[in-house]
Structure 1
Amino acid sequence: MQHMNNMNMYPTAVSPSQMNMPSMPQPMQVMVVEPFVYQALMSLKGKRVVLDTTRGPVNGIVVDAKPDHVVIQERDSTFFVRTCEIIWIMPETGK
């Protein structure tokens, strides 16, 4: 917003606080953590699992688990799956 200065009639910048206007809220980053899903994934590190996700199933060994994602290894493929996309987790049993 601009304001006319009485001294020289050229516009000068005025901040919202100078005009008693509220400033716009700033965006905040939000991360959803599902502690029980994270705990379950941590307990399954090194084991074979099937994860059902919103995009379909993922099979493999749990290599690593973080609060926001899990790393699944299957042969030469590595999958990084966001925990918020997991519907259910099933450990695979040896046959």
Structure 2
Amino acid sequence: MNEKWNLSDPYVYQALTGLQNKPLAVQTTHGSVRGVLRKVMPDHIVIHMGGSPFYIRTAQIIWFNQIKSE
């Protein structure tokens, strides 16, 4: 299989990869999600929140920020 991924925003992908398995707040075009970043793919991320996975398309992300533990 010869698949070629096209990164819509390589800088966002790289930054999110460094935050994998950390608590994250993500603002999307449809609202916000807070949870643990479980997976980073070229076209989407998976946030685990309240026992459920949320799949967010990278193109829909407005901003994200790591949630610091107090």
Q: Give the TM-score of the pair, scaled to structure 1.
A: 0.65
The aligned counterpart of 1:63 is: 38
The answer (yes or no) to whether the contact 1:32–1:84 under 8 Å persists in 2 is no
Structure number with the higher strand fraction is: 2
Q: Where in structure 1 do 4 or more consecutive aligned residues deviate above 3 Å? A: none
The answer (yes or no) to whether the contact 1:44–1:62 under 8 Å persists in 2 is yes
Q: Which letter maps to 1:90?
A: N
The aligned counterpart of 1:19 is: none
The aligned counterpart of 2:20 is: 45
Match of 1:72 among 47, 60, 68: 47
Unaligned runs of 5+ in 1: 1-30
Report deviation, 1:75.
Answer: 2.5
The aligned counterpart of 1:20 is: none
Q: Which one scores higher on RCO, CA 8 angstroms, separation ≥ 6? A: 2
Percent identity over paired residues: 38
Report deviation, 1:33.
Answer: 1.6
The aligned counterpart of 1:91 is: 66
2:11 matched to 1:36?
yes
Structure with greater Cα Rg: 1
Q: Hey, what's the Cα distance between the residues in 1 that align with 2:50 and 2:29?
A: 22
